[in-house]
Chains A and B, each alone.
Chain A
């Protein structure tokens, strides 16, 4: 069971050879693969982080722009409403003024016609009363 012989040194040499062989065909290549993968993952992660930051900046910018245009739109709506109100008020005022004027005109025309009518009525009253007088007095006079 415990018979030592040349197996021992030869096994040791064989093992040392195996160590170098495995280092060449297993440990070094696998370490290289793992390092490369780590590198790949790290660069990808860095890229992704950069993209994420860029995206966030863009989103922020868009939000800013959106808020700006919303404010602008609000201002425009307010301006338009004010303008419309002004126009409406002006038109109402114009229309009222026109109506007033027309009313005054027609009032004036009415007054004139009334005066004319009174005048002609007075004349007719005069001539009628003259006629009546003539008829009454004329028969006396006749």
Chain B
């Protein structure tokens, strides 16, 4: 990242590039990335406030925020239903839905909220999903979720999926359990960080108007990444629930 830190100009405070600098918090010998938690709390706060406001006074004919949240809910439900099927989706809806909402709002907060205006002692505020810790945490939770789903549904018979349809594929099946969280986390992390960097570099070069199309593209990829993460998580859970041998007709 030395190359990128060459681009430090203090002329344009909004266009500063800082990668790899963190606002460290120390918690009993543990180091935390403070800026990630600050922004994630804003995101979580947004989600909770919107949810509470939407469901505070439920109407039969939805209006305003309730309508929006119902639309969002149905969108999420469709994702979960499409991947997990009618029978299993209800139990996993909160997990898949929270994944989507958290990632989506995080990504868009990074693209839309002027985090960088707020000065913090180290690093800069950005989308929580632009930090590898967040994305790996989400990806590992997804792994845990599908292992849990598999063991809960089929007990130790879950291991049968490693040698089905043939034991020759065992190494690949085991490898998959590592590549899944790896690809999930790096895809999200890479997309969000790259988007922020591209926008920052462009703003640095041409501050006005020219970065706008790239910003729009950033909004688009951010939304797509949230959808992809949630869909893949649901697909992995479905795979663990179904196994290879006993494919049911949907």
Question: B88-105 CB contact bits vs A (8 Å, 1 = yes)?
Answer: 000001110110011000
A-B contacts, 29 listed (Cβ < 8 Å): A1-B1, A1-B20, A1-B193, A3-B20, A3-B132, A5-B30, A5-B31, A5-B32, A7-B134, A8-B136, A8-B140, A9-B137, A11-B128, A14-B37, A14-B40, A14-B44, A15-B98, A15-B102, A16-B141, A19-B98, A22-B47, A26-B54, A27-B94, A30-B73, A33-B58, A33-B62, A33-B70, A34-B73, A36-B60
- In B1-51, the 8 Å CB interface with A consists of 1, 19-20, 22, 27, 30-33, 36-37, 40, 44, 47-48, 51
- Give the Cβ gap from B75 to chain A, nearest Cβ, in Å: 12
Question: How far, in angstroms, from A31 to B76 measured CA to CA in the complex?
Answer: 12
Q: Which chain B residue shows the least CB distance to A11?
A: B137
Question: A12-44 CB contact bits vs B (8 Å, 1 = yes)?
Answer: 101110111111011101111110110010000
Q: Which chain B residue shows the least CB distance to A8?
A: B133
- Give the Cβ gap from A81 to chain B, nearest Cβ, in Å: 63
- Give the Cβ gap from A56 to chain B, nearest Cβ, in Å: 29
Q: With an 8 A cutoff between CB atoms, is B69 at the interface?
A: yes
Contact count band on A: 20 to 34
Question: How far, in angstroms, from A58 to B95 measured CA to CA in the complex?
Answer: 54
Further 4 A-B residue pairs, CB within 8 A, beyond A11-B36, A16-B141, A19-B95: A7-B31, A18-B44, A27-B73, A30-B69
A→B interface (CB under 8 Å): 1-12, 14-16, 18-23, 25-27, 29-34, 36-37, 40
Q: Which chain B residue shows the least CB distance to A22?
A: B98
Question: How far, in angstroms, from A19 to B44 measured CA to CA in the complex?
Answer: 10
Contact call B132/A1, Cβ cutoff below 8 A: yes
Q: With an 8 A cutoff between CB atoms, is B160 at the interface?
A: no
Residues of B within 8 A of A36 (CB): 60
B→A interface (CB under 8 Å): 1, 19-20, 22, 27, 30-33, 36-37, 40, 44, 47-48, 51-52, 54-55, 58, 60, 62, 66, 69-70, 73-74, 93-95, 97-98, 101-102, 128, 131-134, 136-138, 140-141, 193
Contact call A2/B132, Cβ cutoff below 8 A: yes
Residues of B within 8 A of A11 (CB): 36-37, 40, 128, 133-134, 137-138
Contact call A27/B93, Cβ cutoff below 8 A: yes
Residues of A within 8 A of B58 (CB): 29, 32-33
**What is the predominant secondary structure among interface residues of chain A facing chain B?**
helix
Contact call B55/A30, Cβ cutoff below 8 A: yes
Which residue of A12, A23, A32 has the most chain B CB atoms within 10 A of its CB atom? A12
Residues of A within 8 A of B93 (CB): 27
Contact call A22/B133, Cβ cutoff below 8 A: no
- Give the Cβ gap from A65 to chain B, nearest Cβ, in Å: 41
- Give the Cβ gap from A18 to chain B, nearest Cβ, in Å: 6
Q: Which chain A residue shows the least CB distance to B95?
A: A19
Residues of B within 8 A of A34 (CB): 70, 73-74
- Give the Cβ gap from A140 to chain B, nearest Cβ, in Å: 146
Q: Which chain B residue shows the least CB distance to A10?
A: B32
Contact call B55/A7, Cβ cutoff below 8 A: no
Residues of A within 8 A of B37 (CB): 7, 10-11, 14
- 6 nearest A-B pairs in the assembled complex, by CB-CB distance: A6-B30, A26-B51, A7-B133, A29-B55, A23-B94, A12-B137
Which residue of A7, A36, A37 has the most chain B CB atoms within 10 A of its CB atom? A7
Q: Which chain A residue shows the least CB distance to B29?
A: A6
- Given that A6-B27, A6-B31 are contacting pairs, would A18 and B137 also be in contact in the complex, using a CB cutoff of 8 Å? no
Question: How far, in angstroms, from A15 to B31 measured CA to CA in the complex?
Answer: 19
- Give the Cβ gap from B155 to chain A, nearest Cβ, in Å: 24
